[in-house]
């Protein structure tokens, strides 16, 4: 299936990959390709979203671009410098940055290494894209490099009702990007496999939209083996197999890294990346630990949030979609939860947002705040445990486990409640959220009480803390 078919046909295609990671990377990749192909203005993009793209429009657009840069043996692959020391690795690593050989780095992963050790030559491109945009450099140790987004960053995309609308809704309008990206006049727009970046610092304002959307961090090569396989990523039979890749990292730094920030490289406005702006620079939002759940940051992803000495900004693509005012926003939040070189877990959540988002932001934040408030209450209700002279680690563990359960359950509850965000008033939504979340907090708390009913000091401390969960809600 080609990009042309996806964009111009009325058929309702679905992407089907074995791994959410690949699915997410494919959506990013297709939307980025559509951006450089159509280069729409906000007005044009709105029309594409409402009326689709005709074959004629597609053909006219493709006439205008140099398609040679998208050929199989060249796309996103810059050639190795002479005498460079080439590192290689199994293709498995390009799915989530999984270390092979059953090391601790695969902890929390959904897949076994054997589930993805041979892929077809087509899937190489999405894995290569995934490497450059989504995988943390640390996953590859000293031969790893950090890409333009920072690696391990959370991705937020607009989810359409099918692949076509999803791809178009995540296509970047060039005038909208220009308004916010602060690029230099004459910023370089050639792809990096045409002209790799040079110097120690890759200044954001010198990187044009096309160049940045496919920015590289490695010179790369995929040896193609002349043997048949069933691709572990897409599931199709292929005449050719790829099982390894070779890489040489770029030596300069993007503004997404400490070196880059220190050298004032600046943050390149990657359209699918929510970010935190701090005094010392801009950071891509990352999932913090394996018990992190996306609902806690939902308000920030949609409208932004001021926190102490920092402000969280939604990804450009979400701001753009709000400007387009097309209809309801279904928000896809995805990414891996990475800790240094390890992948601890993953995020792939879908949220339904009201059609007139700016009017209804209060509804969403009301629900999210209800969750945060109940979480805080549950936390306080356990605090008496720390005053009974027991080992802090022991009682801390009891609390931690309960908090994790709450945060995980709240993910389901909040996603469910937000499905009604168009139909219910703010007050009713919030009320529903408070009730359900409070019920869950009580249930979790009672289960802990029951477990320790024969441990008198512990049980008494829990009874003392319990009332916090029974107080009426703040707002
Ligand atoms: Zn494949």
With CA atoms as reference, report the closest residue to 154 among 272, 302, 277, 253.
272
Q: Which of 353, 375, 391 is the last residue of a domain?
A: 353
Asked if 242 and 386 sit in the same domain, the reply is no
Q: List the beta strands (DSSP E) in 303-341.
A: 305-307, 310-313, 330-339
Asked if 259 and 393 sit in the same domain, the reply is no
- Report how far ligand 1's centroid is from the alpha carbon of 21 (Å): 14
Q: Is residue 120 part of a domain?
A: yes
In whole angstroms, how far apart are CA 199 and each of 83, 178, 253? 18, 25, 9
- Report how far ligand 1's centroid is from the alpha carbon of 173 (Å): 30
Alpha helices in 285-352 (DSSP H): 298-302, 316-324
Asked whether the predicted pLDDT for residue 419 surpasses 50, the reply is yes
- Report how far ligand 1's centroid is from the alpha carbon of 125 (Å): 10
Asked if 118 and 231 sit in the same domain, the reply is yes
Asked if 290 and 372 sit in the same domain, the reply is no
- Report how far ligand 1's centroid is from the alpha carbon of 61 (Å): 27
Q: Is residue 151 part of a domain?
A: yes
Q: Is residue 438 part of a domain?
A: yes
- Report how far ligand 1's centroid is from the alpha carbon of 140 (Å): 23
With CA atoms as reference, report the closest residue to 210 among 197, 191, 187.
191
- Report how far ligand 1's centroid is from the alpha carbon of 190 (Å): 28
Residue 263 tokens, joined = 């050298």
Asked if 80 and 213 sit in the same domain, the reply is yes
- Report how far ligand 1's centroid is from the alpha carbon of 98 (Å): 18
Q: Which of 353, 383, 400 is the last residue of a domain?
A: 353
pLDDT per residue as tens digits for the range 339-380: 666 666 777 888 877 666 666 777 888 888 899 999 999 999
* DSSP conformation class of 287: -
* Structural domain total, the chain: 2
The rounded mean pLDDT for the chain is 88
- Report how far ligand 1's centroid is from the alpha carbon of 403 (Å): 40
- Report how far ligand 1's centroid is from the alpha carbon of 69 (Å): 21
Q: Which of 108-117, 178-187, 377-386 has the lowest mean pLDDT?
A: 108-117
- Report how far ligand 1's centroid is from the alpha carbon of 232 (Å): 7
DSSP string, 125-181: HHHHHHHHHHS-GGGGGGG----TT-SSB-EEEE--SSHHHHHHHTSPPHHHHHHHH
- Report how far ligand 1's centroid is from the alpha carbon of 288 (Å): 31
With CA atoms as reference, report the closest residue to 170 among 360, 344, 314, 32.
32
Asked if 343 and 415 sit in the same domain, the reply is no
Pairing of strands 201-202, 253-254: parallel
- Report how far ligand 1's centroid is from the alpha carbon of 126 (Å): 9
**Spatial contact of 98 and 113, defined as CB atoms under 8 Å apart:** yes
- Report how far ligand 1's centroid is from the alpha carbon of 239 (Å): 11
What pLDDT sits at residue 110? 43
pLDDT per residue as tens digits for the range 205-251: 999 999 999 999 999 999 999 999 999 988 899 999 999 999 999 99
Angle, to 10 degrees, between the axis of helix 357-381 and the axis of helix 392-418?
160
- 52 conformational bin, left if phi > 0, alpha if psi -120 to 50, beta if neither: left
Q: Which residues pair with 348 in a beta bridge?
A: 334
Task: Give CB contacts under 8 A, 24+ apart, made by 255-261.
Answer: 255/202, 255/203, 255/204, 255/281, 255/282, 256/146, 256/147, 256/148, 256/149, 256/150, 256/151, 256/283, 256/284, 257/146, 257/150, 259/200, 259/201, 260/201, 260/202
- Report how far ligand 1's centroid is from the alpha carbon of 121 (Å): 7
Give ion ligand 1 contacts, CB < 5 A. Answer: 120, 123, 231, 233-234
* CA distance from start to end of the chain: 52
**Spatial contact of 277 and 313, defined as CB atoms under 8 Å apart:** yes
Q: Is residue 475 part of a domain?
A: no
Q: Which of 333, 353, 373 is the last residue of a domain?
A: 353
- Report how far ligand 1's centroid is from the alpha carbon of 366 (Å): 43
- Report how far ligand 1's centroid is from the alpha carbon of 235 (Å): 6
- Report how far ligand 1's centroid is from the alpha carbon of 268 (Å): 31
DSSP string, 25-72: HHHHHHHHHHHHHH---HHHHHHHHHH---HHHHHHHHHTS-GGGGST
Asked if 369 and 329 sit in the same domain, the reply is no
Name the band, by pLDDT with cuts 50, 70 and 90, for residue 99: low
Asked if 311 and 367 sit in the same domain, the reply is no
Contacts of 323 (CB under 8 A, 6+ apart): 42, 176
pLDDT per residue as tens digits for the range 56-93: 999 999 999 999 999 989 999 999 999 899 998 888 88
In whole angstroms, how far apart are CA 117 and each of 101, 233, 335, 340? 12, 9, 21, 23
Residue 274 tokens, joined = 């929510």
pLDDT per residue as tens digits for the range 112-142: 555 788 999 999 999 999 999 988 887 787 8
Residue 239, domain extent: 3-353
- Report how far ligand 1's centroid is from the alpha carbon of 131 (Å): 16
Q: What is the pTM of this model?
A: 0.86
In whole angstroms, how far apart are CA 179 and each of 18, 167, 175, 275? 38, 22, 6, 17
Q: Is residue 22 part of a domain?
A: yes
* DSSP conformation class of 4: H
- Report how far ligand 1's centroid is from the alpha carbon of 363 (Å): 42
């Amino acid at each position: 299936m080609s990009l042309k078919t996806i964009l111009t046909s009325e058929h309702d295609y679905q992407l089907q990959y074995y791994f959410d990671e690949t699915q997410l990377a494919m959506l990013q990749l297709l939307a980025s390709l559509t951006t450089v192909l159509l280069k729409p203005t906000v007005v044009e993009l709105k029309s594409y979203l409402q009326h689709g793209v005709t074959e004629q429009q597609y053909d006219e657009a493709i006439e205008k671009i140099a398609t040679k840069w998208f050929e199989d043996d060249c796309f996103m692959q810059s050639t190795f410098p002479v005498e460079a020391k080439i590192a290689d690795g199994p293709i498995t690593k390009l799915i989530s940055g999984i270390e092979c050989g059953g090391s601790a780095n695969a902890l929390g992963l959904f897949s076994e290494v054997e589930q993805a050790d041979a892929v077809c030559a087509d899937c190489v491109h999405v894995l290569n894209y995934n490497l450059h945009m989504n995988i943390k450099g640390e996953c590859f140790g000293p031969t790893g490099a950090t890409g333009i987004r920072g690696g391990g960053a959370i991705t937020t995309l607009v989810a359409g009702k099918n692949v076509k609308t999803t791809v178009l809704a995540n296509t970047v309008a060039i005038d909208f990007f220009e308004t916010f990206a602060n690029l230099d006049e004459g910023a370089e727009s050639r792809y990096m496999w045409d002209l790799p970046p040079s110097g120690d610092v890759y200044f954001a304002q010198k990187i044009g939209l096309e160049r940045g959307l496919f920015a590289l961090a490695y010179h790369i090569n995929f040896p193609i083996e002349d043997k048949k396989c069933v691709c572990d990523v897409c599931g199709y039979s292929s005449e050719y197999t790829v099982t390894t890749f070779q890489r040489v990292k770029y030596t300069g730094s993007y503004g997404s890294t400490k070196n880059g920030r220190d050298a004032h490289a600046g943050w390149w406005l990657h359209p699918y990346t929510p970010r935190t702006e701090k005094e010392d620079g801009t950071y891509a939002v990352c999932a913090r630990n394996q018990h992190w759940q996306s609902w806690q940051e939902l308000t920030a992803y949609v409208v932004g949030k001021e926190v102490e000495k920092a402000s969280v900004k939604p990804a450009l693509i979400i701001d753009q979609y709000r400007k387009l005012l097309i209809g309801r926003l279904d928000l896809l939040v995805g990414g891996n939860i990475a800790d240094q070189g390890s992948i601890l877990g993953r995020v792939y959540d879908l949220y339904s947002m009201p059609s007139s988002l700016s009017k209804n932001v209060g509804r969403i934040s009301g629900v999210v705040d209800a969750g945060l408030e109940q979480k805080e209450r549950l936390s306080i209700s356990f605090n008496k445990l720390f005053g009974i002279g027991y080992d802090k680690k022991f009682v801390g563990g009891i609390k931690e486990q309960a908090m994790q359960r709450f945060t995980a359950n709240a993910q389901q509850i909040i996603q469910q409640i937000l499905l009604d965000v168009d139909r219910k008033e703010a007050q009713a939504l919030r009320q529903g959220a408070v009730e359900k979340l409070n019920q869950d907090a009580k249930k979790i708390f009672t289960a802990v009480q029951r477990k320790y009913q024969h441990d008198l000091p512990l049980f008494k401390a829990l009874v003392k803390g319990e009332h916090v969960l029974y107080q009426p809600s703040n707002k």
